[in-house]
A and B are shown apart, each in its own frame.
Chain A
Amino acid sequence: MKMSVRLAGLEFASPVLAASGTWEFGLRFADVSNQLGGIVTKGITLEPRAGNPPPRIAECPGGIINSVGLENPGLATFVGHFLPRIGRLRCRVIVNVAGSRPGEYAELVERLAHPRVDAFELNVSCPNVREGGTAFGASPAAVERITRLCRRRTKKPLIVKLTANFVDPAETARAAEAGGADAVTVLNTLFGLALGPEGRPFLGGRTGGVSGPCLKPFALYCVDRVAPAIGIPVVACGGVMNGADAADFLSAGARLVQVGSASLADPQAPGRVARELATFCRARRLRDWDDLVGRTRREN
């Protein structure tokens, strides 16, 4: 079976991508990036962002809680310094963008009209910033507006990355579709709080976002809920550690799947997930992705 898969008119060599914020710009382990369908960059904002004070990470059973706070070098440094090198990767490049006002998203996608940027992931779901972030992602109206503003400024595929923090992602997914999105990513991190021994917040950003294997059952539930609610593809994200996890998300209806926190434990993880998924498909003699994608609902 061919491992390549199409989404929004783009061919991806594998359905497995590296998620945003856990793979920097794909360059530190470029050999692994080249084994994937694509990489999603760390979230980029118009101006550089310092992010939150340390500590920025805590653990919980089966996962982590981060409060990085969207630290990034800003658009100018990204375009001038990183993009030329990212351009040499032999995989799809999806740039994750974040704004504190709807217009900022539109400006970002317009100014990133670079031939090596294959698509955008609109991050309307970062739990670690005060303006924008989850506040946009919790409002179907804001999601639709941001997507529509971006749609007017770029022809490249738009993937809207959703949250489930105090909102039904099926509703915001429909809003993204109405605004002209080509796909949605389900899910960003869930709100979380880690306390230190004295009962005070442990993380420098006070609260954080939960990710890792402990997020998988909920992320899977959300994919199963969102996929039938919309007519555009779903990109799954949340707790993928191995090929079987990736296969679960495709079964639940996702077309692509991202590997996030697993890369912190092992930078080979995204490549390994891609290989294990290929082995999974061969062992079951699948003919194409349609045999796998969405079978959870078909078989019930």
Chain B
Amino acid sequence: MRPVAYPVLARRRLCPDVFLIELDAPGLAQRVKPGQFLNIRVGDGPDPLLRRPLSVCDADEGRVRLAFRVVGRGTALLARTRTGDRLDVLGPLGRPAPAPRNRNVLLVGGGIGIAPLLFTARRLATGNRVHAVLGARTREQLILRREFRALGTKPILTTDDGSLGFPGPVIEPAADAAAKLDRPLVFTCGPKPMLRALVRRLDPVPVWGFIEERMGCGTGICYCCALPRKGGGWVRFCADGPVVLLNEVAW
């Protein structure tokens, strides 16, 4: 596997601290599967040394889209990317998420965690019934609403400040939705406290989580990513994830 420099077709701001970058990457768009991620070089020297892992937010018609929140130096550098630049990408990395057929799929996204669920929704829309509960702090932060609707899912929305949809976290609306579905297959991405609360609330329903913790290489060679497994040991989530059965991790 070699890094490839893909042309940037567009860069837009989804809300004050979240950006979307669109890459012209036909081969990648065809190959990549929901749950996989790309490891992106930021800056152009050896500093920062590590790439930044980003989930694929969407991929179709030869284009790959990434959505990211600016939280530190690397993502701030990435936000400076302009149309016409090239982005140095290693990937797709990680294992694809399970791809069910003929199931009730429930997607639960919080904040920037909404991003990878859009691609999941797109790929699972044919052959499954896809439901979504999406939450954020404010109406403004509730990204990609239109894109979810365009796929035919009518997401249930929540905001912490009540500015849109149900006031409060995603947990209760997600539990209500799950209770109405026959053998739901749940995928979730969002802040760690949200993931934890969701697993506890939906127990014993299996919940697949997109893990976005700190990693090193992203390719399985450095052992810097480690998620504690119930009963001991670790999940090397860059290679054996990043989508893992949250019921099996002691997190």
Contact = CB atoms under 8 A, between A and B. Distances in A.
B223 A264 contact: no
A110 interface: no
Nearest to B221: A24
Contact of A68 (B90, B222, B232, B233): B222
Interface string A56-74: 1101011110101001000
B221 A267 contact: yes
Interface residues on B, range: 20 to 34
Interface centre among B214, B216, B220 (most CB of A within 10 A): B216
Nearest to A23: B221
Contacts of B51: 265
B1 A267 contact: yes
A268 B2 CA distance: 7
B85 interface: no
B97 interface: no
A38 to B, nearest CB: 16
Contact of B90 (A28, A59, A266): A266
B47 A21 contact: no
Contacts of B1: 29, 267
B15 interface: no
Interface residues of A, number: 33
Contacts of B217: 22, 263-264, 267
Contacts of A66: 216, 222, 224
Contacts of A55: 213-214
A38 B48 CA distance: 28
B220 A57 contact: no
B231 interface: no
Interface in B195-251: 213-217, 219-228, 232-234
Nearest to A61: B47
A22 B213 contact: no
A42 interface: yes
B226 A53 contact: yes
25 contacts: A22-B217, A23-B221, A28-B219, A50-B233, A50-B234, A51-B223, A51-B226, A54-B226, A56-B214, A57-B50, A59-B50, A62-B46, A62-B47, A66-B222, A66-B224, A212-B49, A213-B46, A213-B47, A264-B50, A264-B216, A265-B41, A265-B46, A265-B50, A265-B51, A267-B90
Interface of B: 1-3, 41, 46-51, 90, 213-217, 219-228, 232-234
Given A64-B50, A264-B50, 15 more contacts: A21-B222, A22-B221, A28-B219, A53-B226, A53-B228, A55-B213, A62-B46, A71-B223, A213-B47, A213-B49, A264-B49, A265-B49, A265-B51, A267-B1, A267-B221
